Structure 1
């Protein structure tokens, strides 16, 4: 299990901590269920990918894996692209201040409104799975 925990995870007396903060304290303060993201861990993972692919690589994070404003700001700071698959994810990255020219709107069955919004916001790329996908759904 240790391999899935953040690098700052420690245990003492059967109690875990993230970033030096006891998990029980986090749960008491914010309630449960609670998702805790270790920024240092994410920075290390992003750096490992950057190192593996080289400094000139254009790396893209798949927002469908997990997306929140803090992560989006970290990805912007580290020079990544973000792949979004919905209007909601597109709005989240916009509100987080992510550079829209580094956003990819990806996926099939996008409405005209979603495509128009992505264009209006200056999305860097729009990935079209198949040009007939909207027509074939209507049949």
Structure 2
């Protein structure tokens, strides 16, 4: 004679596991959000640095500013972290916060905007 004894989790065990999972996720999700935001800013900084190096090389060779060559350094695909073209410059877009860059006298300048404020009061221009 065989016994049909099924093993299963008790309600208490399920509640405890779900509670612990909820507590762990409540700490993990904000950290992940902070990580992705920092990654976006680092990506924008690196691309602006590459653009500045290309601009400097053009300047040293006494070449006219070639915007097509400069734009090759930037991620122009619309997403949460990308650049947009504008006349004589570009716009850095970090999750809706924008910093406007213009070229004046062969110098790249960042223009401060209210929408470009970071959580600590700095502007996006301050990190470039």
For the aligned pair, the TM-score class normalised by the smaller chain equals: under 0.3
TM-score by length of structure 1 reads 0.24
